[in-house]
Amino acid sequence: MEVMDVHSWSQPERIRVRHLELNLDVRFDRKILEGSVTLRFDATTEPELVLDTRDLEIHSVENAAGFELGARDAILGAPLRIQLAQGCSWVRVRYSTSPDASGLQWLDPAQTAGKRYPFLYTQSQAIHARSWIPLQDTPGVRVTFQGRVRAPAGLHAVMAAERAGEHFRMQRPVPSYLIALAAGALEFKPLGERCGVFAEAELIDTAAREFADTEAMVRAVEGMYGPYRWGRYDLLVLPPSFPFGGMENPCLTFATPTILAGDKSLVSLVAHELAHSWSGNLVTNATWSDFWLNEGFTVYLERRILEKVYGQDREEMEAVLGRRELDREMAGLPEPDRVLHLELTGRDPDDGCTLVPYEKGALLLRTIEREVGRDRFDAFLRSYFDHFAFQSITTADFLDYLRRELPVTTALDEWIYRPGVPLDAAEPRSDAFQRIEAAAARWQQGQAIDTSGWSTQLWLHFLRTLDTPDQARLDREFHLTDATNSEILHQWLLMAVRSGYEPAFPRMEEFLKTVGRRKFLKPLYTELMKTPAGKERARRIYQSARAGYHPIAQTTIDALVGGA
């Protein structure tokens, strides 16, 4: 059955591209990628191949009877219509990108750890691959690819694929949103047999220590859900402007440096991106409306990894934190955004990226697990990954398979198509957090409490339990304005904006000017915009911070604060 993806101009039911050959020069001098892509498909009698593009300059198309770039749609970009001769099975497009490409960030040396070399990275999910490669930019189409990337001397280019010098190869079919490239002054350090980390020299040892458990994580998932099918699993630490926590590019997860806490307390992100090697990269959402199949399954797997590697307490804390954040965010969302299967026609798929697909999705799987028991659910998941391996599937495909293989009484349609969390949801609980709630109550009554040895998760729960406390007293006792853990600091700054706690504002300004992670920016700017003085502060900070943010973060914050 053909699946319609409203976020692509391409018509894969007519021609399906199967293989790409990329040949690109990284031009830091002009902030462009320049080169060609060869697209291969089964010999066809179709008169026209339609590709997605956004802000590309098309220089020529080889092996074609002609081409035409259509009108640019604000969300979708412009279709590139290529006229084909009878029996055609390939075309080669010569092109260059725009310095403002939505899927690229070009960093000045000042924005890197080393301050000496520029940096480039791509972020293709959801529909930004089209801003740096003309292709069928839909997760319903999978391609193998080869790449050759030339970067200036002294810089190291990497693609999320098998690597050999400046040559890259992906032999397993992947959706376009997983094609990725980075270039910078990168070093590599092995973490184990299959795992390693790329980072700038300044961060490489810290990163290797933080991610020392990666190989154990890979083995943990393999024990539950079958072999890791992508060869190597490496991580790439990006500069702090990276707009996400992590991105599950195959063979090479891209990660924010804000998870380098020094105590492995934020490595749930590694567990998450690694889990995508099964949920997402192996079994892929066919359209962005099915995004919860990627993220909900991945959060469920992430927590199972945490439980295996760090124990049940840690898993329970993360699950409760996630559950609380879901409620908090959902309260501010319109009803259509509280469902799992999203209606995104006419919308940018980046808009659907709330905690709902993540946490409500994971909660549904947890609820099914509670009903059928962990052993049966694990067996089901393992067979699901095998059955749909290297395929792109819809919510309906999942439901058909589940109803056939594992009939349940859980109200699936209600979970997936109706807003909110159903009353039968499996509720995570944490004993450790109950002790924190008691400590918070004592502290509120003016008593001293012993916080020595508290983990990041305990601190987060403590602060969120207090809500609007006496921040000056907290600062005197616990020095939270000096926190170096990005999650704790972010929580602290959020509270400072809410209560107008001035002593934390210089730290907030510095944070907003160096970190571009959208999950941190959005709540802080949103909170600032609630008062006239905050608005003024937000505008002033954003005016100087904006240029350092990724185009995706700029779009988000423009909508909150107002554009450039």
Residues labelled catalytic: 273, 358
Cβ 191 to ligand BES shortest distance, Å: 19
Smaller CB distance to ligand BES: residue 7 or 27? 7
Query: Cβ contacts of residue 330 below 8 Å, gap of 6+?
Result: 338, 354, 355, 356, 360, 420, 421
Percent helix, strand and coil across the chain, each to the nearest 5:
45, 20, 35
247, interface contact from ligand BES, Zn ion, none, CB < 5-8 Å by kind: ligand BES
Nearest one of 139, 149, 203, 159 to 28, comparing CA atoms = 149
- The distance of closest approach from Cβ of residue 285 to ligand BES in the complex, given in angstroms and rounded to an integer, is 10
CB neighbour class for 364 (10 Å; exposed up to 12, middle 13-18, buried from 19) = buried
| In the complex, least distance from residue 438 CB atom to ligand BES, rounded to whole angstroms | 29
Residue (178 or 203) nearer to Zn ion, CB: 178
Residues at the contact surface with ligand BES, assessed by CB under 6 A: 125-126, 244-248, 269, 272-273, 276, 295, 350, 353, 358, 519
Cβ-based nearer residue to Zn ion, 275 or 561: 275
Site size toward Zn ion, by CB under 5 A:
2
Q: Shortest approach of ligand BES to residue 270 CB, angstroms?
A: 9
Instruction: Taking each helix axis as running N to C, give the angle between helix 518-528 and helix 505-514, from 0 to 180 degrees, rounded to the nearest 10.
Output: 140
Q: What type of residue is 178?
A: L
Cβ 332 to ligand BES shortest distance, Å: 18
Amino acid at the residue 394: T
Out of ligand BES, Zn ion, none, which partner does residue 519 contact, by CB within 5 to 8 A per kind? Answer: ligand BES
Bridge-based pairing state of the strands 66-69 and 78-83 = antiparallel
Q: How far is the CB of 40 from ligand BES (least distance, A)?
A: 27
CA distance 509 to 515: 10
465: partner contacted, choices Zn ion, ligand BES, none (Cβ within 5-8 A by kind)? none
CB of 160 to ligand BES, least distance (A): 13
Q: How many CA atoms lie within 13 A of 418 on its CB side?
A: 8
Residue with tokens 């035409």: 68
Binding-site partner at residue 107 among ligand BES, Zn ion, none, CB < 5 to 8 Å by type: none
Which one of ligand BES, Zn ion, none is in contact with 126 (Cβ closer than 5 to 8 A by kind)? Answer: ligand BES
DSSP-derived 3-state class of residue 341: coil
User: Residue 554 and residue 539: Cα distance in Å, rounded?
Assistant: 13
Concatenate the DSSP letters of all residues of 129-198 into one string: GGGTS-B---TT-EEEEEEEEE--TT-EEEESSEEETTEEEEEEEEEGGG--EEEESEEEEE-SSSEEEE
Contacts (CB under 5 A) with Zn ion, residues 274-303: 295, 298
Least separation in angstroms between residue 220's CB and ligand BES is: 16
Contacted entry of Zn ion, ligand BES, none for residue 5, CB cut-off 5 to 8 Å set by kind: none
When the beta carbons of 126 and 321 are compared against ligand BES, the nearer one is 126
369 binds, among ligand BES, Zn ion, none (CB under 5 to 8 A by kind): none
Residue with Cβ nearer ligand BES (184 or 352)? 352
Of the two residues 34 and 325, which places its CB atom closer to ligand BES in the complex?
Answer: 325
Encoded tokens for 261 = 């806490």
Minimum Å gap between C-beta 5 and Zn ion is 19
Judged by beta carbon, residue 8 or residue 249, the one nearer Zn ion is 249
- Token pair listed for 456: 């990041």
CA 203 to chain centre: 21
List the single partner that 520 binds among Zn ion, ligand BES, none, CB under 5 to 8 Å by kind: none
In the bound state with ligand BES, the residue whose beta carbon lies nearer, of 47 and 551, is 551
Residue 549 identity: Y
What is the rounded distance in angstroms from the CA atom of residue 443 to the CA atom of residue 462?
A: 10
CA distance linking residue 157 with residue 421, whole number of Å: 44
Residues 6+ positions from 119 with CB-CB distance below 8 Å? 106, 107, 111, 112, 182, 183, 184, 185, 238, 239
Site for Zn ion in 292-351 (CB under 5 A): 295, 298
Q: Which option in Zn ion, ligand BES, none does residue 244 bind, with CB closer than 5 to 8 A by kind?
A: ligand BES
**Interacting residues with Zn ion between 195 and 224 (CB under 5 A):** none
Q: Which is nearer to ligand BES, 200 or 350 (CB)?
A: 350
Q: Per residue in 104-129, is it b (16+ CB within 10 Å) or e — as a string? A: bbbbeeebbbeeebbbbbbbbbbbbb
Give the interface with Zn ion as residue ranges (CB under 5 A).
Answer: 295, 298
